[in-house]
Structure formats: structure tokens, C-alpha cells
Amino acid sequence: MSAAPGASPDTTPGSTPGASRGATPSPPRNGVTRAEYCVIACAEAWRGDGEILASPMGPIPSIGARLARRTFSPDLLLTDGEALLVGPDGSPEGWLPYRQHLALVTGGRRHVMMGASQLDRFGNQNISCVGDWERPARQLLGVRGGPVNTLNNPVSYWVPRHSTRVFVEKVDMIGGVGYDSAAAAGPAATRFHRIPRVVSNLGVFDFATEDHSMRLASLHPGVTVEEVVAATGFELTVPADVPYTREPSPAELASIREDLDPKGLRDREVKG
Amino acid sequence: MGDKTMTADEAVSRLESGTTLGIGGWGSRRKPMALVRALLRSTITDLTVVSYGGPDVGMLAAAGRIRKLVAPFATLDSIPLEPHFRAARESGSLELMEIDEAMFMWGLRAAANRLPFLPVRAGIGSDVMRVNPGLRTVTSPYEDESTGVRETFVAMPALRLDAALVHVNRADRAGNGQYLGPDPYFDDLFCEAARTAYVSCERIVDTAELTKAAPPQTLLIKRLNVNGVVEAPGGAHFTSCVPDHDRDESFQRLYASMPWPEFAERFLAGDEQAYRTAVEAWHEEQS
């Protein structure tokens, strides 16, 4: 059952009209795993993006990007994770070394899905360090490309383990710029700033609220609103009717299982 | 065309403590590790290291040689977090200028172009500005055609380097350097941004040899930017240097898990040949 996207104004593209807030019985999952709903939710991030570079980070976003390219977003460009642009079968169609990748970011023709060690209400993201920056309790990667990405091309986020440790009131070090920080920094920051969606193992989130704070856009089947709220460390906007993340079509499911991820990397990233 | 060949130790002997040193490669890819190992054998310290950080940063930090690091990250790629960089940050022993990947590139470009800064649409709105209070902004002298706004950008200061160390696949004796892998990283830019540059390579070949099997656009580094050429087969070990060799993943895992003093004693106590012998012996033990 593949629902038509955007069925009503309240429905997020790529979601199935669901049940209302409260004790929501989960719909049947027809053997579809949580990881597979995550793949669908990630793939949907690139729907309608046209001829741009899809930059997924992590196994499930990568499977999602390739699924989008094979199905509803055939014009997407994909990388091999190194310096090559590749087709769905992995054969090269272009060269994209780091220096050109950075120029492509500032040109804006890219939609990246990054990870987040911390993410707050307005979409500020941290992969740099936990604790005080001067002397962190836990040093992580560093800001990497977060600052340039978020000011120049759409940036979505992927969180495989949704918890109050990740979804925090305020991130310790802003690498990826959120809506409030961009607004405070002025037009050079807001001009091309956009965070289309956040996908976690529990659901899909966007910033389609008046103040651009995070909103629950869809629940993955099998997840309740209460579960999401309990795992989120800030006040989340929860609409009266929360749709479910849409079902994969039989063809999509076969593609994920047989072609894109026959070894089941997705199940190692998200269980259940 | 002068012969610039020298040993790794000779290259390092031209550096001084307190120097600002750019190190090429990216993460755990094509790092000039033989030159880094030579640095570790020297007494040079108090370095300002400018790097897309990998085990070069980790080792120099573990050995206490870095006063200040300029970097957007430090990673071992297949092992996301660089353990010695982490330890140095968590113990507070490292001064860090943490900037974004693109800001870093623009800083090198500014230096290479003899500009004091370049405007970048990156950094503002993020905590890069908070943790680098010295970063300034610049407002465009032009109104944007579509918005009518004069936008304000970060004025990324030039990252001027006293010296650069890079590792490539081939070079001639004059310092023309060739990469044969898929990505040049920013090694030419490091050399252009530096007063002096030392290029190690898997193999030194005759100039004519460079373009016999590979197209001219693989000639990444020009000799006018190079002061020394070091032949160092396996000189990027344990990082990757494709197509000559992939990353030595099992050895990298050892590096990431072994306490630094033990690692240094077993593998870094002698010269480069001793290092290779010790690595071979370790691999034999594993098989």
C-alpha cells in the first residue's frame, strides 16, 4: 500500500494518513522492518529535488538515496563516497574530488543528510564535542562541513537512535546552523538555509511551524507519539493528527532487500 | 633543474620548533606519515599544525609536539574518532582553532593568493565564531542584484604556512609531484600556501616517466613550490595511498587501541626502516 504523497495539506509528503494523538494502535507492518521504514523516510528527503547531488551519510541514508534515484528521483547525482559520481549500478559518470565537492556545496546544488550527535529544537546540530568546548567531556569529530553545508544547501539529518541525549534543549557546540541561529546571524546566513527534515528510528520531523521549531511529521509504524515525546529532550510540536511514514511499495521493498542492501546493513543500524 | 632529493630526516632538520606546519592528505588518506615519523624522531616541538586531521594529528598530539591545531576534524575514517586527538582535547593539552572544512580551504587559498582573507558563506550562525573570537566578518561592498542586500560574510584569514608536508605517488628529483589516486585532496594548495614544502613519494622517477602511463593532469605539484623531495615507499603507511596501497586497516586498529607509549616504543623507536620491519613482524605475528 503506497499512499499518494501530499494527500492533504496537513500530511507530510511521503506519509500515510495515520491515527490521532493518544493511545494509537499501530497499523499492521506486513513484515516491513523499522529499518525499511527509515530507508523510505530518508529516500523521501530527496523527492522532487531534481538534478542535484544527494549526499547521504550513514548506511540507511545511503540506501535511501539510491532508492530515490532508482525510483522517483531519477535525475539525482550520487557519489561512491570517494571522488566519483556514480550511476545506480556503481559505474562512474563524473569526478567529484573534495575541492569540487566544497564548491558544489556553496553553489547549492546538493542536499546532504548528515548525522547528529546532538540536535535541538531549531535544528542546530553538533558532531564536534560534548560538554564545554574549551575542555570537552567527550571530543567527537569536529564541526566538519556543518557550518558551510547549512548556510548553502539543504541539510537533513539522520539519527539512528532517537533519545534525549541526542534531541537536546541546546546543543553544546553549534556546527550545523539551526533556524534560530541563522535568523540571528542575518541575511547571509538565512538566504539559502533550509533544513527539510530530520529522520530518526522513531519518525520524521520537520520545521513547518511558525517559529521553525521542530514538529513531528510522521511516525514510523509501530511507534507511538508518547514514545517519541519521551525520547525527545525538548518540547516538540505534535499535530492533532500524526500520519504514519508511508509503506514501501512491493517493488521498493524488493529493491531494498535484493539489490540495494542484500547484506542487511540497514538492520545493523536500526533494529526491530 | 636542481636535484632536491633528500632524506626524511634531512627534510625535518630544516624545520624549527614553533613553526606553522601544514600537513596534506585528508583524514586517514595519503598522509605524509614517513615525514611525520621523522618529525617524531626529531626534537621539534611547539608546532602549529594545520591539517584535515588524521593520524598525523593524533601521533604528534600524543607525542606532545602540537601547541596549536587548526582543523575542521580529526578522524581515522574507518574508525571515526582519532583516539589521541580525543585524549589531547579531553585533557585540555591542545589549543584548537576549530573551523569548517570549507573555511579551511579558503584560508589556504587566501594564503596561496597572497590575500589577507577571503569572504566565505560559512561560519556565521555557528559556534565556530564563538570559539574563535578572533574571526572577523566583512560586509560586501556590492548590493546583491536580487535581494538589494549587502551581505555579511566571515573574512576567513589566510592560513599562511611556514612549511608544508605532503605525500604523493610519484615525483621527479626536481619536485614535480604526481597523484595517481582519485582525489588530489588539497596537497598542491598546501604547497602553494607555504614558504617551504617537502614532498615525499612512493617512488622517484625520471621526469619523462611521469607522463608515460598517466595523463598530465595527474601532475599535481609543481617544482617551483617544492624545496625537498623524499623517496619514501610506503611513506603514507598506515593511511591509504591508492593505487599504490590501501589503508592498513588492521594496523590502524592496533594504533587506535594500543596505549601510545607502547606503540611508540615498539614501532617508532628506530628509523623508517626499523618501522617497516616492526610492522612486518607484527603482521607476521597476526597471520
Q: pLDDT per position in chain B (287 positions), as tens?
A: 699 999 999 999 999 999 999 999 999 999 999 999 999 999 999 999 999 999 999 999 999 999 999 999 999 999 999 999 999 999 999 999 999 999 999 999 999 999 999 999 999 999 999 999 999 999 999 999 999 999 999 999 999 999 999 999 999 999 999 999 999 999 999 999 999 999 999 999 999 999 999 999 999 999 999 999 999 999 999 999 999 999 999 999 999 999 999 999 999 999 999 999 999 999 999 98
Query: To which H or E segment does residue B60 belong?
Result: helix B55-62
Spatial separation of the C-alpha atoms in residues A127 and B115, rounded to whole Å: 31
Q: What whole-number percentage of chain A has pLDDT above 90? A: 87
Instruction: Give this prediction's pTM.
Output: 0.94
Record: contact A98-B121, CB cut-off 8 A:
no
φ and ψ at A150, to 5 degrees? -70, -25
B/e letters for A181-202, b = 16+ CB within 10 Å, e = fewer, are bbbebbebbbbbbbbbbbbbbb
Record: contact A143-B102, CB cut-off 8 A:
no
Tell me which residue has cell 558551510. Answer: A148
- Cell triple for residue B179? 597523484
Those residues whose C-beta lies under 8 Å from the C-beta of residue B262, and which sit 6 or more positions away, are none
What would the mean pLDDT of A100-123 be, rounded to a whole number?
98
Return the residue of A nearest to B95 by Cα.
Answer: A134
Q: Does B77 touch chain A (CB under 8 A)?
A: no
Side chain identity at A149, as an amino acid letter? N
Those residues whose C-beta lies under 8 Å from the C-beta of residue A72, and which sit 6 or more positions away, are A43, A47
| Strand B177-178 to B194-204 pairing | unpaired
- What are the pLDDT digits (tens) for A224-237? 999 999 999 999 99
Spatial separation of the C-alpha atoms in residues B212 and B209, rounded to whole Å: 5
Select from B101, B140, B217, B247 the residue whose CB has the most chain A CBs within 10 Å, as the one to mutate to test that interface: B101
Specify whether the CB–CB gap between B229 and B173 falls below 8 A.
Answer: yes
* Residue A12 binned pLDDT confidence (cut-offs 50, 70, 90): very low
Record: contact A174-B126, CB cut-off 8 A:
yes
pLDDT at A15: 61
Nearest CA distance, A48 vs chain B (angstrom): 25
φ and ψ at B235, to 5 degrees? -70, -10
pLDDT at A1: 33
Select from A129, A140, A141 the residue whose CB has the most chain B CBs within 10 Å, as the one to mutate to test that interface: A141
Specify whether the CB–CB gap between A133 and A172 falls below 8 A.
Answer: yes
pLDDT at A129 over 60: yes
CA atoms lying within 13 Å on the CB side of residue B264 = 17
What residues in A contact B71, CB-CB < 8 Å? 142
Record: contact A139-B86, CB cut-off 8 A:
yes
Mean of the per-residue pLDDT values for chain A?
92
Nearest CA distance, A146 vs chain B (angstrom): 7
DSSP string, B212-225: TSS-GGGEEE-GGG
> Smallest Cβ distance to B105: which of A83, A99, A192?
A99
Which of B248, B183, B173 minimizes the C-alpha distance to B210?
B173
- What are the pLDDT digits (tens) for A165-218? 999 999 999 999 999 999 999 999 999 999 999 999 999 999 999 999 999 999
Record: contact B101-A144, CB cut-off 8 A:
yes
Side chain identity at A98, as an amino acid letter? Y
pLDDT at A88: 83
- What are the pLDDT digits (tens) for A147-169? 999 999 999 999 999 999 999 99
> Smallest Cβ distance to B26: which of A95, A98, A143?
A98
pLDDT at A30: 79
What would the mean pLDDT of A41-58 be, rounded to a whole number?
97
pLDDT at B97: 98
CA atoms lying within 13 Å on the CB side of residue A106 = 19
- Here the ipTM equals 0.96
Q: How many CB atoms lie within 10 A of CB A79?
A: 18
